[in-house]
Amino acid sequence: MFLSVYAQKSVTGFVYEDANGNNKKDRREKGIAGVGVSNGVAVTTTGNNGAYTLPLEDDNIIFVIKPSGFKPALNKKNQPVFYHIHKPNGSPENYKYKGVSPTGVLPESLDFALVKSDETNSFSALIFGDPQPYNMEELNHFSKGIVEEVENISGMQFGLSLGDLVGDDLSLHSPYIDAVQKVGIPWYNLMGNHDMNYEALADSLSDESFEAAFGPANYSFNYGNAHFIILDDILYPDPRDNKGYWAGFRQDQLDFIENDLALVDTGKLVVLAFHIPLKNSEANYRYKDRQQLFDLLSPYPHTLSLSAHTHLQRNDLFTEKDGWKGSNPHHEYNAGTTSGDWYSGELNENGVPVSTMRDGTPKGYAFLHVDGNSYSIQYKVAGKPADYQVELYAPKVVPAGSRTSAGIYANFFMGREDSKVEFRIDNNGWQRMNYVVDADPAFMSNLHKWDHIDKMIPGRRPSNPENSTHLWRAGFPNPLSAGPHTIEVRATDMFGKVHTATKTFIAEAPVK
């Protein structure tokens, strides 16, 4: 039995335990009580028999909020199947890239299947920032440079890409899905400013092609003792002038966050993920939206935000001076990107651009490790050993027995201004390095190659540098004896883990 489109003012159904895994509610399969279900704004919970009812409009995506200890089915592309799109009239037809076709009426009972899953409160997830290929060649770079390295990875419970899944050509969403499918784990996605429909006349209609490929742009799920809220924080068109975009949230999104958090215990770790970082100027981020978000999160002492967008890497802490009202500072990890500096730079031995980011962070991806309501983050440079966490830069040769203006630089990729970074030479005593805000000299050295070549080489000149937020400097001690010397650096990240790097140089008598 089906209802008339015009009669559908509400949606009802069941969330049930799919005991035989056929994604169909069989007569003996029982409903699951206390599970959140949302229409993108309102959030309700299932009753004792697993039933729910929600108000319905003609442009809703109904989704189940995955509870801990259960998992939704996966489609053939490793995408979690936790939603149903309801657009009786479909997406606008004038879009360059196709949105959702008319969906017709809903079934009398819209049911969501969940399967019991052995989840622990200690788990890990794989985080990608900005794959952002603009064409198939760059998508192949993403596949060869990132996906092949983590294909069939073990120990990761799911993956999440932090937006800019592609670069404006939304027909690449499908081959992007094919690429990340090979990682072999459930994969979640969120929308970036390069995943939008630019023909949209209202922000609520800027995600039509994204929805067709990935489902809701705003949703949530639980894993272990953590609650994840995935959000679109791009306002397009910019409400100030209807040109370009601004970062922030519509009121219906903030209402969803409030309704969603009403079901979340304050002892949980709350992880928010969106594309554009909260750490921004008001010209780039609507502060009243950020403040409302902070207010909603204030009862939760354990929080984390994940963002990308900048093609840099930062760890920022929000405190009372920023409008944060929580008992602990709020940490935002602005992740380094899988595309790095937009697939620029020299080609490596596999024909993939090195693509070091403008702050000297090599391209890569991150591991989010959760333990109860605490967490740590580990950055992994693509194509390098896991312990490569510091790029140490120093001259190869310095004068022996006299002063030099040259310096020793340590770019600590996961560092922040208050990180402890020390150095020593030849096993002498450890000394603190000085935090500096400057261009990374290792990045500059590579960039200068492109400005001094006699003829073009494969690849594309990198972007101009940005000041690094994780750079330290020390001067050379005086005097240095002639001969080889070894520099050691040790850096402690915000999670207490110590990372090291070494480099050798030679001190020679000055030429007169």
Residue 213 reports pLDDT greater than 50: yes
Each residue's pLDDT tens digit, 21-63: 898 898 899 999 999 999 999 999 999 999 999 999 999 999 9
Looking at the fold, whether 150 and 257 belong to one and the same domain comes out as: yes
The confidence score (pLDDT) of residue 512 equals: 79
Contacts of 142 (CB under 8 A, 6+ apart): 131, 133, 176, 179, 338, 339
Contacts of 473 (CB under 8 A, 6+ apart): 407, 408, 409, 410, 433, 434, 436, 438
Q: What is the DSSP letter of 463?
A: P
Looking at the fold, whether 110 and 128 belong to one and the same domain comes out as: no
Peptide bond preceding 237 in cis form (omega within 30 of 0): yes
The confidence score (pLDDT) of residue 5 equals: 45
Average pLDDT of the chain? 96
Query: For residue 185, how far is the Cα from the chain centroid?
Result: 16
CATH of residue 208: 3.60.21.10
Looking at the fold, whether 71 and 180 belong to one and the same domain comes out as: no
Looking at the fold, whether 234 and 130 belong to one and the same domain comes out as: yes
Nearest to 247 by CA among 230, 227, 231: 231
Looking at the fold, whether 401 and 356 belong to one and the same domain comes out as: no
Confidence of residue 1 (pLDDT cuts 50, 70, 90): very low
CB 407 within 8 A of CB 473: yes
CATH of residue 94: 2.60.40.10
Residue 3 reports pLDDT greater than 50: no
Query: What's the pTM?
Result: 0.96
Average pLDDT over residues 128-148: 98
The confidence score (pLDDT) of residue 334 equals: 98
Each residue's pLDDT tens digit, 175-194: 999 999 999 999 999 999 99
The confidence score (pLDDT) of residue 478 equals: 83
The confidence score (pLDDT) of residue 246 equals: 98
Looking at the fold, whether 237 and 337 belong to one and the same domain comes out as: yes
Residue 499 reports pLDDT greater than 90: yes
Query: For residue 285, how far is the Cα from the chain centroid?
Result: 18
* Number of domains the chain contains: 3
Q: What is the DSSP string of 140-170?
A: HHHIIIIIHHHTT-SS--EEEE-S--SSS-G
Looking at the fold, whether 94 and 173 belong to one and the same domain comes out as: no
Looking at the fold, whether 41 and 181 belong to one and the same domain comes out as: no
Tokens in use for 478?
């005086």
What is the residue type of 303?
Answer: T
| Boundary-marking domain end, from 381, 404, 434 | 381
Looking at the fold, whether 177 and 201 belong to one and the same domain comes out as: yes
- Structural domain boundaries enclosing 307: 119-381
| Boundary-marking domain end, from 381, 402, 418 | 381
CA distances 277 to 152, 214, 272, 310, 315, Å, are: 30, 22, 11, 8, 11
Q: Return d(Cα 122, Cα 15) in angstroms, integer.
A: 26
Beta strands in 359-451 (DSSP E): 364-371, 374-381, 390-393, 397-399, 407-412, 420-425, 431-432, 434-438
Average pLDDT over residues 381-410: 96
Each residue's pLDDT tens digit, 193-205: 999 999 999 999 9
User: Phi-psi category of 323—alpha, beta or left, where left has phi over 0 and alpha has psi -120 to 50?
Assistant: left
Residue 7 reports pLDDT greater than 70: no
Each residue's pLDDT tens digit, 62-106: 999 999 999 999 999 999 999 999 999 999 999 999 999 999 889
Looking at the fold, whether 349 and 397 belong to one and the same domain comes out as: no
Average pLDDT over residues 419-432: 97
Looking at the fold, whether 465 and 498 belong to one and the same domain comes out as: yes
Looking at the fold, whether 404 and 368 belong to one and the same domain comes out as: no
Each residue's pLDDT tens digit, 317-344: 999 999 999 889 999 999 999 999 999 9
The confidence score (pLDDT) of residue 2 equals: 37
Each residue's pLDDT tens digit, 253-276: 999 999 999 999 999 999 999 999
| Boundary-marking domain end, from 381, 405, 428 | 381
Nearest to 140 by CA among 171, 169, 172, 162: 172
